[in-house]
Amino acid sequence: MKTILFIVLGLLPALVFRCVILRKPISRVATAGVCFGILIYVAILVSSMVERKSQQPGDDAINGPLPILTDLFSQMAKVGIPSVVVSYFILRRGANGPNKGG
């Protein structure tokens, strides 16, 4: 459930850029820049979640940086990749259509 919530939170900046600020498609370079910013935003969300989870006392017999890094990379794969891919498609929607200008 947290994964879906983090994916939705990762899509919010793309929706805000597309619907409120831009109102029209943007170039591939600008889209890549926005997606990189969204990836950094998602990384901050995921790293804070992993940090809180690692500080909780648990039944883990293995301590150290390896379980924390493994959890961080797996959460980034679960949350970051879908957020960036869907954000790219949201931002590029309608960009390859026919030109409506004269």
The pTM assigned to this predicted structure is 0.79
Domain segments of the chain as ranges: 2-53+74-92
Residues with Cβ within 8 Å of 73's Cβ and at least 6 positions away in sequence, in order, are none
- Return d(Cα 51, Cα 46) in angstroms, integer: 9
Mean pLDDT, residues 1-24 taken together: 84
The sign one gets for the Cα dihedral 96, 16, 82, 40 is: positive
Flag whether pLDDT at 81 surpasses 80: yes
Between residues 2 and 99, the one the model is more confident about = 2
